[in-house]
């Protein structure tokens, strides 16, 4: 049985939204105010629709939407903020 990706996409997106909600509930107690940024990264990198996946700030530019440098920088910033809280 074959299915059509575009017809199935709404189901994938609904499941993805539920997964993000579960992730948010488990990350927020540990990460606090950093959780929004963590969830945003997960949303951008795992978006079921490949046309919307990646860094939305670079859509329409010469920078590849899947360039991980931006995500590495953001995660590094989160790590520094979390480390500062521990000290």
Which domain, by its residues, includes 67? 17-86
pLDDT tens sequence across 51-82 = 899 888 888 888 788 889 999 999 999 999 99
Number of domains in the chain: 1
pLDDT tens sequence across 17-62 = 999 999 999 999 999 999 999 999 999 999 999 989 988 888 888 8
Evaluate whether residue 7 is within a structural domain. no
Evaluate whether residue 60 is within a structural domain. yes
DSSP string, 60-71: TSSS-TT-SHHH
Model's pTM, two decimal places? 0.85
Cα within 13 Å of Cα(81), Cβ side: 14
Residue from 86, 41, 87, 38 nearest 66 by CA: 41
């Amino acid at each position: 049985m074959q299915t059509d990706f575009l017809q199935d996409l709404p189901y994938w997106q609904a499941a993805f939204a539920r997964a993000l909600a579960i992730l948010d509930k488990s990350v927020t107690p540990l990460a606090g105010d950093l959780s929004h940024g963590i969830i945003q990264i997960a949303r951008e990198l795992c978006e079921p629709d490949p046309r919307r996946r990646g860094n939305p700030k670079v859509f329409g530019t010469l920078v590849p939407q899947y360039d991980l440098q931006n995500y590495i920088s953001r995660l590094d910033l989160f790590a520094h903020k979390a480390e500062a809280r521990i000290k």
